[in-house]
């Protein structure tokens, strides 16, 4: 038992030492990404600008199918996040805009900064948890859960989200089914939609 305790203590010590070996690892996006992220940029070439992201300054274009837009602050366009296990995004909604059902590899926290939205997620037991959120309200979406946001106010809305991964990915359910190369007959079978309904969705995404 003592040997087991000593082993775990040693393992923890080693992991802590590895965690603090470098102050930061700004990603070098000119090199291929590995399973643990990008290789580190030469510290001699790192500047303050590497740690500043200005992509959230302005409202994004929302004149699209969903009347919304997502501006990503992921490691690909903010390499200072490399290895830190965090990322962010800005959500902009026109009146009536939605962020359709989607998921990530990570958990997500959302805070509303303008307007009023309904936000929610659906768990593996098909229970829906949703709430109308006002400015300053915060909600959590657990890892990998399908979730969504809808602008239910009379004005445009904005929210900021934070995710516990530098590259959490985004997979939109509707887009995955109808905007890719999945054949219409398979989409029809797995969604229980009619052929006409599937083709209508594919035409909306320009893949018919």
- List residues forming the annotated binding site for Mn(2+): 102, 104, 108, 147
Binding site: what residues are annotated? 102, 104, 108, 147
Would you say 199 and 184 are in contact if contact means Cβ atoms under 8 Å apart? Answer: yes
Contact 147, 108 (CB under 8 A): yes
Name residues whose C-beta falls within 8 Å of residue 193's C-beta, 6 or more positions apart in sequence. 187, 201
Number of CB atoms found within 10 A of residue 92's CB? 24
User: Which residue has tokens 């923890």?
Assistant: 12
Binding-site members for oxalate are 104, 108
Torsion angle, alpha carbons of 27, 99, 92, 110, to 10: -70
Neighbours of 157 (CB within 10 A): 25
CA dist., res. 202 & res. 102, Å (int): 18
Residue 26's nearest CA partner among 56, 61, 53, 51 is 51
């Amino acid at each position: 038992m003592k040997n087991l305790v000593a082993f775990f203590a040693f393992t923890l010590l080693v992991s802590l030492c590895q965690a603090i070996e470098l102050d930061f690892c700004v990603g070098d996006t000119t090199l291929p990404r590995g399973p643990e992220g990008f290789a580190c940029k030469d510290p001699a070439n790192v500047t303050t600008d590497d740690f500043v992201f200005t992509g959230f300054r302005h409202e994004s274009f929302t004149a699209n199918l969903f009347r919304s837009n997502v501006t990503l602050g992921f490691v690909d366009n903010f390499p200072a996040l490399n290895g830190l296990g965090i990322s962010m995004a800005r959500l902009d909604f026109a009146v009536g805009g939605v962020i359709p059902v989607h998921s990530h590899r990570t958990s997500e926290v959302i805070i509303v900064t303008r307007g009023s939205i309904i936000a929610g997620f659906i768990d593996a037991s098909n229970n829906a948890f949703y709430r109308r959120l006002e400015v300053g309200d915060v909600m959590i979406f657990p890892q990998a859960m399908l979730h969504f946001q809808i602008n239910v106010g009379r004005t445009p809305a904005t929210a900021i989200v934070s995710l516990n991964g530098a590259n959490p990915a985004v997979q939109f359910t509707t887009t995955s089914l109808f905007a890719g190369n999945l054949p219409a007959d398979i989409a029809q079978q797995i969604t229980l939609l009619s052929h006409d309904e599937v083709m209508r969705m594919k035409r909306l995404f320009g893949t018919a």
